Amino acid sequence: MSVAHAGASVLLALVLWALVKRLTATKARAIDIAGPEKDHWLKGNYHRIFQDGLEYNLQLTEKYGGAVRIHALLGEEQLYVSDPRALHHIVVKEQDVYEETDMFIMGNKLIFGEGLISTLGEQHRKQRKMLNPVFSLANMRDLLPTIQPIADQLCDLLVSKITAGEQEIDIVPWTSRGALEYICQAALGYTFDALNPEKTSEYAEALRRFSPTALRLILIRPFVPFFVRNFSLQWRNRIMDWYPSSLMHRTCKGIYADKKSAIEGTLVDGSLKLNEPQGATGFRSRGRDIMSILLRANRPSNVRDMLTESELLGQMNTIIFAGFETTAIATSRLLYLLASRPDAQARLCREVRAAKMAHVGDSARWQDVNLSYDVLMGLPYLDALVRETLRVYPPTSILSRTTRKSTVLPLEFPVRSASGQEVTSVPLPENTTVIISILAANHNKEIWGEDASDWRPERWLTSTGERILPGNRDGIKYPGVYASMMTFLGGGRACIGFKFAEMEMNQVLTTLLSTLHFSLPAEKEIYWKMNGLQVPVVRPPAGDGQTPQVPLKIRLVRDDDY
């Protein structure tokens, strides 16, 4: 037998051993809660949550309530949860019991390195302690003026495409390029010149390919722990070389080296020298970017809390990925919703114009006014639009946890057991996977009302336009870190950058709507697939139903648009 055949036989034996072990382990972990029957002997019904799964996700909770048994890969039973008390226990009260799955932690460590989403326990708490001040309101206020030129450049770019009048433009490439510039300049103090139409970037292309690649591999992700535990580092690196994250990591490593030299005084002007042309919007942070602040805080005077180079690189990869695609998707969805609701667009335009005119100087046009952080974040209708969009259409629909010991999960609202009895808690064996349904929680009619699935920004406002916080039914609410919704999660593993994401979206909207008007194309139906992440497509016959795109008609704003 050849060495190659012997190696293949050993690999096959290891895979079969992992399958048998998984099947025998899952049989002993039955969950006594009602749920749908499996659709497929191998995939169960788990795949339906991810594959254009908006209606399926909402039907699960409509039929079974806030705790549902799901059949996952190879017959494993998992618990699908959207109940508010249950989620409070999972993400806040007993977060040490409900930890990220091995698949999530090991997969993220392979892809991003030792960042916030790849660590547990004391290491995660140490990283979080170091990063929390970096995302403070004070730092957000400092960052806002330095990143305003990105929104201006995006607006100018779109204006340049409509010189002959109203044009149909796919906004997805441009919201993606803008989001990349925002996160790279704010996080790294570095520009890829992504808003230059004449320039392509390998790094930007790798980021764009990342999520579609991950989605195609979703059914083999449960085998990531097996892969990590049974293959050497050399083999793991070889296999990962084809993945887009390999280029992402190499790029961040080069930026980190120059950033570190700048902090240590080697580059006295504080700029980065990476043989990349410095675009008109680059290098404005001058030490106020997130990594510069983090590197200055990570000094030898505080050795016990210092992050290693591997951890710092992990933060760079994590922050860029987390702040790129989800924000680009949310911004595209906001513009699409405004195009489909002319009344909402007009109301927002009036609010933005009034705020800018209140701060305009003698020689400036009101459209060119840059709003301060407090004014920008204090616009009631803009705030309502962003919150309602993030609630109804969260960029990420689910996350997972696993029980590190046997436990009992309490419920706010009773559900049915597999035998039909009403229960108010769910016994969970050790190593049970729990699916946190952000989507179902944000659409829970018990909390948000019978119109929970309707996009209605006015729910965040009084009849006279003052801001209010819905999502509280007789003291029952979700433990979300952002406006009582679960979009950015809650507890010790909540999204650390949600304030930056909110600021970015507000700034882009106020800048674009001061100059541009958006409407839907007449003969194209835009459909948003929920594939874990949102994927906008154009349905046939005008589109292929697969390619991500949001074509909108764009023209200059007119007085009668207000």
Which parts are annotated binding residues for heme? Answer: 495
CA-based nearest residue to 200, from 218, 220, 176, 222: 176
Q: Is 199 exposed, middle or buried (0-12, 13-18, 19+ CB in 10 A)?
A: middle
The token duo for 364 is 């400036």
Which residues sit in the known binding site? 495
The token duo for 189 is 């103090």
What is the DSSP annotation of 455-498? --GGGGB-TTS-B-----BTTB----TBTTBSTT--GGGS-TTH
Rama region for 75: left / alpha / beta (φ>0; ψ in -120 to 50; rest): left
The 10 Å CB-count burial string (b at 16+, else e) for 85-110 is: bbbbbbbeebeebbbbbbbbbbbbbb
- Parallel, antiparallel or unpaired: strands 407-416 and 516-519: unpaired
Alpha carbon distance 515, 508 (integer Å): 11
- For residue 221, the number of C-alpha atoms closer than 13 Å in the C-beta half-sphere is 21
The token duo for 148 is 């305003």
What is the DSSP annotation of 335-377? HHHHHH-HHHHHHHHHHHHHHHHTT--SSS-GGGPPPPHHHHH
Alpha carbon distance 322, 187 (integer Å): 11
DSSP designation for 74:
G
End-to-end alpha-carbon separation of the chain, Å? 78
Alpha carbon distance 6, 202 (integer Å): 38
Alpha carbon distance 333, 347 (integer Å): 18
The token duo for 62 is 């409509």
- Give CA separation, 267 vs 257, 261, 273, 282, 294, in Å: 11, 6, 9, 16, 18
Alpha carbon distance 255, 126 (integer Å): 23
What is the DSSP annotation of 380-404? HHHHHHHHHHHHHS-SB-EEEEEES
